[in-house]
Structure 1
């Protein structure tokens, strides 16, 4: 275990994946979800919220709460739809986390994928480099912790559903990631 923690520290991930902002830190409402994901998960679906972006912890925590409130109070879902939310502050905000099925991509994909959303609209611009780095570190973390298969596949939201998400500019970026598959 000590070796694994040292390796994760060398990768810049901390132990275990300490760069993820827990729900309690962003003051998430209690989740009412209970459907588990089976690990390791094969697919990761990347989306954007198409709403406001954020670039500091205070605004990103507020934006995560806004997204969760919309999903729970307006859409009637058991929690925020995504497993993780990425802020342009370079932090990953825990949504449903690694263990709970999301509501991000419809009934076919939700039970077999992790949903990662970038908070903001990425039709006309790319997310900050630190946000992209945070997402890639999260994926490394998922593999190292056994939540994602080592040969996981990244999909854009538009690859699996009729949508403009994750936005034209973010979509171009993820298509260059090693694990992207159309």
Structure 2
């Protein structure tokens, strides 16, 4: 999906009242926008947060707003129904459509990286499997815009550090190709 199409989709979501949770932070689809189940989570993140953990869902990719909304619901269903969590585990999900999908958001502790890292980090997960292929440019740009917004709004420290999921837990996530990319981002730091 082209950047123009992603922006048009975001504008349509905003017009329908389903769009950006933070309108000037780029295309963030609210929980209402992707028809999330109500969260049962209550543990708050202490802000500003210093760490961001980037992962992949290792599931199906999505390339349109409709397919990404469905995939976000699928991830939430798995986390709540199968794993027994209070909500989708990630703070934000990134679709190949170039949109960000609000998970637990900036203020709630996630369930993405274990007991040590969850209370001190924001979890961002790209929807798809990125072992042998990289996410498209618009997905990478959406994640970078989200991070810049988080730092500008004080959710993240100005000197926040990006970690790959495999840097903080024994896992293949975020996939070899995505891991190669995030290691080039200016805020990436190996543990």
Identify whether the pair has TM-score above 0.5, normalized to the shorter chain. Answer: yes
- Work out whether 1:162 is the aligned partner of 2:170: yes
> What residue in structure 2 maps to residue 150 of structure 1?
158
Task: Note the C-alpha offset of 1:133.
Answer: 0.1
Query: How many positions carry a matched residue from both structures?
Result: 169
Shift of 1:17: 1.9
RMSD after superposition = 0.9
Structure 1 unaligned residues grouped into runs of 5+:
1-13
- Structure 2 contact 26–146 (Cα < 8 Å) conserved: no
**Alignment partner for residue 117 of structure 1, among 110, 121, 125?**
125
Alignment counterpart, residue 41 of structure 2, candidates 9, 28, 33: 33
Match of 1:75 among 83, 93, 114: 83
**Structure 2 Cα separation of the partners of residues 130 and 46 of structure 1:** 16
- Equivalent in the alignment of 1:22: 30
Query: Residues 3-152 of structure 1 correspond to what in structure 2 (within 5 A)?
Result: 15-152=23-160
Tell me which protein shows more helix as a share of its residues.
Answer: 2
Residue 178 of structure 2 aligns to a residue in which SS?
helix
**Are the equivalent residues in 1 in contact too, given 2:34–2:72 (CA < 8 A)?**
yes
Where in structure 2 are there 5+ consecutive unaligned residues? 1-21
Tell me which residue corresponds to 2:18: none
Give me the whole-angstrom Cα distance separating, in 2, the residues matched to 1:24 and 1:135.
20
Please give the TM-score of this superposition, normalised by the length of structure 2: 0.87
Q: Deviations over 1:130-157 (max 9, x none)?
A: 0000000000000111100000000000
Scaled by the length of structure 1, the TM-score of the pair is 0.91
User: What's the secondary structure of 2:116's corresponding residue?
Assistant: coil
For the 8 Å contact 2:26–2:145, the answer to whether it is kept is no
The whole-number CA distance in structure 1 between the counterparts of 2:39 and 2:101 is: 14
1:172 aligns with 2:191: no
How far residue 18 of structure 1 moved from its aligned partner, in angstroms, is 4.8
